[in-house]
Amino acid sequence: MNAESIIRRKRDGQELSQSEIQELVKGISNNQIPDYQLAAFAMAVYFQSMNTREISDLTMAMAYSGKVMDLSGIAGIKVDKHSTGGVGDKTTLVAMPLAAAAGVPVAKMSGRGLGHTGGTIDKFESIPGFQVEMEYSEFIEQVNLINAAIVSQTGNLVPADKRLYAIRDVTATIESIPLIASSIMSKKIACGAQGIVLDVKVGQGAFMKNLDEAQQLARAMVNIGKETGRQAVALITDMEQPLGYAIGNTLEVIEAIDTLQGKGPDDLEHLSVEIAAYMVLLGKKAASIEEARQKVKSVLQSGQGLQKFLAIAAAQQGKIDVQKPFYGFGSAPVLKEVTVDESGYIAGINALGIGKAAMLLGAGREKIGAPIDYSVGIKLLNKQGDYVKKGQAIALIHAGYKNLKLAEELIRNSVQVTTEKVKKTPLIIDTVV
C-alpha cells in the first residue's frame, strides 16, 4: 500500500476507491501507517471532505477493523439509539425500557463520559450494584428474555477508529463531518444494530454548535445507514439548555425513574417518547410513526416502561427501591442553593456552563479513567421562559467538598435573566430520514 499516494489523491480532492479506503484502514489498525501520515490524511479529509460512498466505505472498513458483535441469536430487528452528547441527557434510561416494553429488542453497548457530557454507562453504574460487564452469552440471553441489556464497550471494538480519533483530537480535525459520521456509525454497526435512531444535539452544550453543521452530520449518518443496509433516523435536538432538570449521575437516574412514572420533566418525556417511537418504527412493531408514538405512550402510562427498567436493573444486579426516598440511592453530603441577583424571565441557561460546573463537582471526568462521584450534581429549579424573583433559588447543588464555590459561580453566570418575556426554543428542531 502507498499511503502517500492515497493522501495526495485526497489532498487534491480526488475520490478514493473502496480498495484504497480498506487498505488505509488496515494500515491504521495494524500500525503500518505512522501517526504523521494519519494526521495528513485526516487534514486532507477535513479540507476536501468525502462523498457518500467514500464515507460509507470508511465506516464499514472501520466497523470491521476489530471485533463485530453477532446478534443473530437475538430474535427480531435489533434497534439502537445514539446521542452525540449533551448536558442532562438521560434519554437512554427512558427510551430504552419504553422501546423494549413495546416489543423491540435493544442490545446496547455504551461508553463512559468524558468532559462536560455524561456517559450512559456512568449513569447505569450509579445504580447500586449494577453490573455493566457480562459474558456475551449472558448478554444475548438477557435480551432474548427481557428485550434489553446494556454493557460497556469492549476494548477491541473498532480499533481503527480509536487510533484515528486520537490523531484527530490533537490535529484540529475533530470537526470533520465525514470523520465524525463514520466514527459514530462504525461503532453502531460493529455493535450489531440493524436500526439506528440518532439524536444529534446542537447548541452551546453540544459538540455541534450550529444548525447547518448538525443537519450535515445528521444527513451524513442517515445516508451511511442507507448505503450499508441499515435503517437510520436522526433527530436534531436543542442543547442550548440542559435536558430535564437533573445533571449528575444519580440525580439523572432518579429523574429518569420519575419520568417512567409520568412525573418527570416535560422536555425529557417528550424527547424520550419520540426516540422510543422511532425505535419501535424501525423495529417494525408499528406501521407508522403515529402508531409507534401511541404504542410508546401506552407503555409509559401503563407503567410497563417502569417495570421494564426495573427488570433491566434487577437482571444486572442493580438495586432500586421505588418505595424509598431517592429510590434507595445515596445522596451528596452538601446541599447548596444558587439564587438569582435580579427579577425577570430566564432568557437562557448555558448548557456548557452547567455541564462544566457539574464536572468541577466531580460528576464528570477530565481524563479517561479518572474517578467520578456518582452522588454529586446540579438540580435546576427553573428553565428557559420561567419568571424568577430576585433572591429566588434557581438551582440546588448536590456537592461533596470539591469546588463548591467555583461551581456556584459558574451556575449563576450560566443563567441569563431579562425583563422581556421569552419565546421558548423548540426541543426537536428537525427530523432527517
pLDDT at 113 over 90: no
Least Cα distance to 76 among 144, 138, 135 occurs for 144
What pLDDT was estimated at residue 367? 76
Residues 6+ away with beta carbon under 8 Å from 235 = 197, 198, 199, 200, 271, 274, 275, 278, 428, 430, 431, 432
In whole angstroms, give the CA distance from residue 242 to residue 254: 16
DSSP string, 355-417: HHHHHHHTSS-SSTT----TT-EEEES--TT-EE-TT-EEEEEEE-SSSHHHHHHHHHHHEEE
pLDDT band at 66 (very low <50, low <70, confident <90, very high): very high
Name which of 153-162, 207-216, 230-239 the model is least confident about: 153-162
Least Cα distance to 197 among 73, 31, 351, 77 occurs for 77
What pLDDT was estimated at residue 401? 85
What pLDDT was estimated at residue 370? 80
Name which of 115-124, 176-185, 199-208, 237-246 the model is least confident about: 115-124
Average pLDDT of the chain, as a whole number: 95
* Count of CB atoms situated within 10 Å of the CB of 321: 12
| CATH code given to domain 3-63 | 1.20.970.10
Residue the block writes with cell 477493523: 65
Tens-place pLDDT, residues 319-373: 999 999 999 998 999 999 999 999 999 999 999 999 999 999 999 887 777 889 9
* Count of CB atoms situated within 10 Å of the CB of 229: 10
Q: Where are the beta strands (DSSP E) in 284-371?
A: 334-339, 344-349
Tally the residues of the chain.
433
What pLDDT was estimated at residue 350? 96
In whole angstroms, give the CA distance from residue 11 to residue 40: 9
CB 187 within 8 A of CB 161: yes
Q: What is the dihedral of CA 23, 25, 30, 33, to 10 degrees?
A: 80
- How much is the average pLDDT of 230-235? 97
* Between 169 and 216, residue with greater pLDDT: 216
pLDDT at 101 over 70: yes
CB 377 within 8 A of CB 252: yes
What pLDDT was estimated at residue 169? 84
What pLDDT was estimated at residue 23? 96
Sequence ranges of the chain with CATH classification 1.20.970.10: 3-63
Sequence ranges of the chain with CATH classification 3.90.1170.30: 331-418
Sequence ranges of the chain with CATH classification 3.40.1030.10: 79-315
Tens-place pLDDT, residues 156-202: 889 999 899 889 989 999 889 999 999 999 999 999 999 999 999 99
In whole angstroms, give the CA distance from residue 236 to residue 83: 10
Topology, domain 331-418: Aldehyde Oxidoreductase; domain 3 (3.90.1170)
Residues 6+ away with beta carbon under 8 Å from 214 = 200, 201, 202, 206, 208, 236, 429
* Between 271 and 169, residue with greater pLDDT: 271
Residue 158's identity, in one-letter code, is V
Architecture of domain 79-315 in this structure:
3-Layer(aba) Sandwich (3.40)
What pLDDT was estimated at residue 114? 64
In whole angstroms, give the CA distance from residue 96 to residue 178: 28
In whole angstroms, give the CA distance from residue 54 to residue 405: 49
In whole angstroms, give the CA distance from residue 157 to residue 172: 24
pLDDT band at 115 (very low <50, low <70, confident <90, very high): low
What pLDDT was estimated at residue 374? 94
- How much is the average pLDDT of 51-72? 95
pLDDT at 116 over 70: no
Give the residue numbers marked as catalytic.
Answer: 82, 161, 168, 183, 187
β-pair partners for 231: 195
% the chain with pLDDT above 90: 89
Which segments of 30-107 does DSSP mark as H helices, in order? 35-48, 52-63, 91-101
